[in-house]
Structure 1
Amino acid sequence: MVTALPRLVLFTRYPDPGRAKTRLIPAIGAAAAASLHRRLTERAVATLRAAGRSIELRTTGADPCRFSAWLGDGLAPTDQGEGDLGQRLDRAAALPPVILLGADVPDLQVRHLEAAASALETYPAVIGPAEDGGYYLLGLARPMPFLFDAMPWGTERVLAETMARLDRHGASYATLETLADLDRPEDLARWPDLAE
């Protein structure tokens, strides 16, 4: 279905204490949560770079030039812009083929990106399910704005609702291996190497 290489678009925020990984702050404090987010983003960028594809950063929390100073050149940082998560994802997905990712999945590997790109050669969409009921990756071979409007973001219903919408619109999809993201205090024990 797809002949062009999908764009890799990573969503992240600047690791300022008190504004990054806020659900972890009660357990580890604002500075440690921000530091953890910094390491997660750096790990995600390293994985995407290892895939040998160009990377676009969709940023929030600081001017895009601060992301270049932090993470290096060649990442094309662009501010996410206004609106809810759905509106920001929809803008990033407007020029398919595209693979959208978050920065909070420590177990993401190059093979997941390769599998997603391969799936888009056959399917209109590919989903990387997250253990918490969301997704860590969404790949699209064509625009699908219906996936982003009035979605219950931040809940355990996102994955099921995404699949239901694809089904309703007759868009077949592939699924990848389920991975966990690091969002809640109870997730910290799973990745001791990321602890300070």
Structure 2
Amino acid sequence: MRITVVAKEPAPGRVKTRLCPPCTPEQAAALAAAALADTLAAVRAVAADRTLLLDGEYPVDGFDICHQRGDGLGERLANGFADRPGPTLLIGMDTPQVEPELLEAALAWLGQADAVLGAAEDGGWWALGLRDPAHGAVLRDVPVSTPDTGRLTAEALTSAGLRVLPLPVLRDVDTYEDARAVAGLVPGGRFARTLAGIALPVTR
């Protein structure tokens, strides 16, 4: 079993741009780095092979680095599955509240189905597990970053004849409101501490 974390180099102006405003690009990048750190910590606590599917450059210990390739996100995700053999749970870097126990359960459920899919509150998805990574090819034709991405992904999987089990719905961090809500779920995490240390500009 493998867990692959999809990540973008947390550089100002490249990540979490929807946090700006009220955050500056530097603050948004710091929050992205913190979310990634919490996610990686959860993955490290699980007995599984670990891969970082990375856009850009970012040093991480204990993970097999696989650089994203392809023109669009759907193609990059499909290639990320195809580039590493065996059952794989792919998760994003935008749910720092994810816990090792949930990841372990997802891997266990993947042993009972062809796929597992964790929907996000905004209509996307935060996790997708495939017993056969070749089935990731369906992602090439699924629109990404839309309110229907999660539903369309599930439909693409079932249309390919796969049995799909649902994972719990999580809220991912896109907006500042999301950031505050997610930080409240894990007040001791690096993400919450980073958010607490951000001094936002005073508006008049």
Runs of 4+ residues deviating >3 angstroms: none
Structure 1 residue 47 displacement after superposition: 0.3
CA drift at 1:180: 0.6
Matched, 1:47 2:35: no
Amino acid at match of 2:75: Q
In 2, the alpha carbon distance for the partners of 1:26 and 1:152 equals 26
1:91 aligned residue: 79
Alpha-carbon distance in structure 1 between the residues aligned to 2:136 and 2:167:
21
Shift of 1:146: 4.5
List runs of 5+ in structure 2 lacking aligned partners: 185-191, 198-204
User: For structure 1, which runs of at least 5 residues remain unmatched after alignment?
Assistant: 1-5
Please say if residues 18 and 25 of structure 1, whose CA atoms lie closer than 8 Å, have aligned partners that are also in contact.
Answer: no
Match of 1:164 in 2: 155
Query: Residue by residue, what CA displacement relative to the aligned partner does 1:71-130 show, whole Å, maximum 9, x if unpaired?
Result: 32x211121123211111111112331111111102211122111111111100001111
Q: Which residue of the partner structure matches residue 3 of structure 1? A: none
Q: Equivalent residue for 1:174?
A: 165
Shift of 1:57: 0.6
Cα separation, 2, equivalents of 1:150 and 1:37: 27
Query: Is the partner of 2:7 in helix, strand or coil?
Result: strand
**Taking structure 1 as the reference length, what is the TM-score of the superposition?**
0.88
- 1:118 aligns to 2:113 (yes or no): no
How many angstroms apart in 2 are the aligned matches of 1:134 and 1:36?
A: 20
How many percent identity over aligned positions?
31
RMSD, aligned α-carbons = 1.4
Count residues in correspondence. 184
Q: How does 1:19-38 map to 2 (within 5 A)?
A: 19-38=14-33
Partners of 1:146 and 1:165 within 8 A in 2: no
Amino acid at match of 1:118: A
Match of 2:126 among 112, 136, 152: 136
- Residue 140 of structure 2 aligns to a residue whose secondary structure is coil
SS of 2:21's equivalent? Answer: helix
